[in-house]
Amino acid sequence: MQKPILILGACGQIGTELTYALRDKHDNDTIIASDIREGSEDLMSSGPFELLDATDYNALEEVIAYYEISEVYLMAAMLSATAEKFPMRAWNLNMNSLFNVLNLAKEKKIDKVFWPSSIAVFGPNTPENNTPQNTIMEPTTVYGISKQSGERWCNYYHHKYGVDVRSVRYPGLISWKTMPGGGTTDYAVEIFHKALSDGHYTCFLKEDTKLPMMFMDDAIRGTIMLMESNEEDIKIRSAYNLSAMSFTPAEIADNIQRIVPDFEITYIPDFRQEIADSWPSSIDDSIARRDWGWQPEFDLERTSELMLRNLKNKD
Ligand code: AKB
């Protein structure tokens, strides 16, 4: 029988799909969704839901004790583009929520933690192509600095206090069920919505900006796979590189045009271009494949086809 799992940030882009995936897999009553704001009626009524601020240690401790939570997925975070506008708010949210969860695990109030890192931990001095697991990491964004610091703290809490914390460096995530909020890779979701609603998209990145991306189903499957892996197989306690595909705005537009022939794209780069330029183009995830059997299933062609078909059916 699955011990209760708590999802923090359950109404966000990843949290929503993770909540549904875990509720599909286990008894709905054992998957506790929580967020600082309310989510869709469906998400809130398909199992237990708590309004909860992940930076409030006492409130978090209370919910964990009440439901006898065993595992926490900490999905609450401020992403790269928004974090540049609100540096201190981003730092406080991204770090304090992590410390709260790590300290609860240190005190044995929970058994296992998932915390997401990001390709944003890398910076302009990192090798850009096929970026290795261990390499130069000098992030130049607020978000990247918080993720890199978070990785070091996860590693520290594991080695110093035996905390079972697990993490991956997510690339940009593409989903037709949920919208991203405040990231630099958001264009790769917006473009599908605009292709169907307007037949046109104005992209905030240049046409040849190549970034690592992943279809949400792969991300959710990988996340749950990592959490269900044997403890002794998890050799990296900072965060694993995770990869599926890499493409440019021009390449995604080309894929869309194969299905929506009249689709047009124009490029007006904004402040997010500098963020994207500091990140790798592609990622070497061979260590995740070796340690816990990671294998992506979706490429750009399949992602484009599924995005357009499902968004069309949704309307
Ligand atoms: C962002 O663009 O900020 C995120 C990320 C790559 O972590 N999607």
Question: Which domains occur in the chain, in start order?
Answer: 5-171+216-241 (3.40.50.720), 173-213+244-282+298-314 (3.90.25.10)
How confident is residue 315, by pLDDT bands cut at 50, 70 and 90? low
- The dihedrals phi and psi of 71, each to the nearest 5 degrees, come to -125, 145
Distance linking the first and last C-alpha atoms of the chain? 38
The yes-or-no verdict on residue 254 having pLDDT over 80 is: yes
Residue among 311, 33, 73 nearest 174 (CA) = 311
Q: For ligand 1, is residue 276 a contact (CB within 6 Å)?
A: no
121 lines ligand 1 (CB under 6 A): no
- What pLDDT was estimated at residue 79? 98
Q: How far is the CA of 66 from the centre of ligand 1 (A)?
A: 33
E strands in 75-227: 112-114, 117-118, 164-166, 168-170, 172-174, 200-203, 211-215
For 294-303, the pLDDT digits (tens) are 999 999 999 9
| pLDDT, tens digit, 9 for 90 and up, residues 26-62 | 999 999 999 999 999 999 999 999 999 999 999 999 9
Assigned token pair, 91: 């730092």
Query: What 3-state DSSP class applies to 165?
Result: strand
Which one, of 183, 166, 170, 314, lies nearest residue 241 by Cα?
170
The pLDDT of residue 283: 98
Tokens of 108: 């044995």
Residue type, 57: Y
CA atoms lying within 13 Å on the CB side of residue 180: 25
pLDDT band at 2 (very low <50, low <70, confident <90, very high): confident
The pTM of the full predicted model, rounded to 2 decimals, is 0.97
- The residues, any chain, with a CB within 8 Å of residue 10's CB and separated by 6 or more, are 16, 18, 19, 33, 34, 35, 39, 43, 49, 75
In 3-state terms, what secondary structure has residue 168?
Answer: strand
Instruction: State whether the beta carbon of 80 lies less than 6 angstroms from ligand 1.
Output: yes
Burial label, 68 (beta-carbon count in 10 A; 0-12, 13-18, 19+): exposed
3-state secondary structure of 167: coil
Decide: residue 65, CB within 10 A, 0-12 exposed, 13-18 middle, 19+ buried. Answer: exposed
From ligand 1's centre to the CA of 169, what distance in Å? 10
Q: Considering only CA atoms, which residue is closest to atom 4 of ligand 1?
A: 183
Listed residue (29, 33, 44, 45) closest to 9, CA to CA: 33
Dihedral in degrees, nearest 10, Cα atoms 49, 157, 228, 12: 30
What residue's CA is closest to ligand 1, atom 8? 172
pLDDT digits (tens, 9 = 90+) for 74-99: 999 999 999 999 999 999 999 999 99
Looking at the annotation, which residues are catalytic? 143
**Which residue type sits at 307?**
M
Instruction: For residue range 126-154, list pLDDT tens digits in order.
Output: 999 999 999 999 999 999 999 999 999 99
Res. 1 pLDDT band, cuts 50 70 90: confident
Could you tell me if the CB of 184 is within 6 A of ligand 1?
yes
**Does residue 172 have its Cβ closer than 6 Å to ligand 1?**
yes
In this predicted structure, the answer to whether residue 233 has a pLDDT above a threshold of 70 is: yes
Atom of ligand 1 nearest to the CA of 182: 3
Q: Distance (Å, rounded) from C-alpha 252 to C-alpha 29?
A: 40
Q: Give me ligand 1 centre to Cα 117, in Å.
A: 9
Structure tokens at 207: 């046409």
Ligand 1 pocket mutation, candidates 85, 121, 184, criterion most atoms within 8 A of CB: 184
Q: Number of helices (H) and strands (E), helices first, in the chain?
A: 12, 14
- Amino acid, single-letter form, for residue 248: T
**Quick one: which atom of ligand 1 is closest to the CA of 171?**
6
Question: Residue whose CA is closest, atom 7 of ligand 1?
Answer: 118
Residue 22 confidence (pLDDT): 98
CA-only gyration radius of the chain, Å: 19
Pair 14, 21: CB distance under 8 Å? no
Rounded CA separation 245/20 (Å): 24
**Whole-angstrom Cα distance, residue 33 to residue 16?**
9
Ligand 1 centre distance from Cα of residue 3 (Å): 31
pLDDT at 155 over 80: yes
Helix axes 249-259, 187-197, angle to 10 degrees: 30
